[in-house]
Amino acid sequence: MDLVDINTTSTDYDPLNFDNEPDYEEDCRYDGTHDLHIKIYYIGVFAFSIAIISFIFNSFLTIVFQLNKNLRVTATYYFQILAIFDVFMAFNYVALMVVPVYFDNFKILWLYNIFNYYVVFLLTEGNVSIFCSALLLIMATAERCFLNLPGGHEVWISKFMKNNRHLITIIVICISILYKGMTYYELVNIEKENCTDWEKYELSLSSLATNPTYNFWFMFLTRNILDRIIPFILLIIMNFIIVRKLKKGSIKNFEKIQQNSYTPNWNKTSHKKMIKDATRALVAIVSVNILCQAPQVFLTTWEIINKASLESNELRTFYSYANDTLSILYLVSSALRLPIYLSSNRPIRVASKSTIQKIFPSCFVKKRINENKNSNNDTKSIVISHLGNGIKNENKKVDEIVLLPDLPTHDSPGSDETQCDIFLPSPISKNEGIPTIVRNKGKDSIFKNISKNSSSQFVV
Is residue 409 within 8 Å of 353, Cβ to Cβ?
no
HSE toward the beta carbon, residue 33, CA cutoff 13 A:
25
Question: Do the beta carbons of residue 200 and residue 30 sit within 8 Å?
Answer: no
**DSSP three-state, residue 319:** helix
In angstroms, how far is CA 430 from the centroid of its own chain? 31
35: left (phi over 0), alpha (psi -120 to 50) or beta: left
Per-residue pLDDT of the chain (460 residues; tens, 9 = 90+): 334 454 443 334 433 344 444 444 567 888 889 899 999 999 999 999 999 999 999 999 999 999 988 888 877 899 999 999 999 999 999 999 999 999 999 999 999 999 999 999 999 999 999 999 999 999 999 988 888 777 666 678 888 898 899 999 999 999 999 999 999 999 999 988 888 889 989 999 999 999 999 999 999 889 989 998 899 999 999 988 888 887 766 555 545 545 554 444 444 455 456 566 667 788 888 888 888 888 988 888 888 788 888 888 888 889 989 999 999 999 999 999 999 999 888 889 999 999 998 888 876 655 555 555 555 544 444 444 443 443 444 444 444 444 444 444 444 444 444 444 444 444 444 444 444 444 444 444 444 444 444 433 333 3
- Provide the residue count of the chain: 460
- Going edge to edge, which strands form the sheet with 419-423? 400-402, 437-440, 380-385, 419-423, 455-459
Looking at the DSSP bridge assignments, the partners of residue 458 are 420
Cβ atoms of 372 and 417 closer than 8 Å: no
Q: At what angle do helices 109-148 and 165-180 cross, to 10 degrees?
A: 140
* Topology, domain 14-353: Rhopdopsin 7-helix transmembrane proteins (1.20.1070)
Helix, strand, coil tally for the chain in percent (to 5): 65, 10, 30
Q: What are phi and psi of 268, to 5 degrees?
A: -125, -25
Question: What are the residue boundaries of the structural domains of the chain, listed by start?
Answer: 14-353, 377-459
What is the tens place of the pLDDT at every residue in 360-418? 887 665 555 555 555 554 444 444 444 344 344 444 444 444 444 444 444 444 444 44
Q: Give yes or no for a contact between 453 and 423, defined as CB atoms under 8 angstroms apart.
A: no
Q: Where are the alpha helices (DSSP H) in 360-436?
A: 365-374
CA 347 vs CA 65, 68, 106, 270: distances in Å: 11, 10, 46, 11
Please, which residues have CB within 8 angstroms of residue 243's CB and are 6 or more apart in sequence? 283
Q: What is the pTM of this model?
A: 0.72
Tell which residue, 198, 217, 196, 214, has the closest CA to residue 206.
214
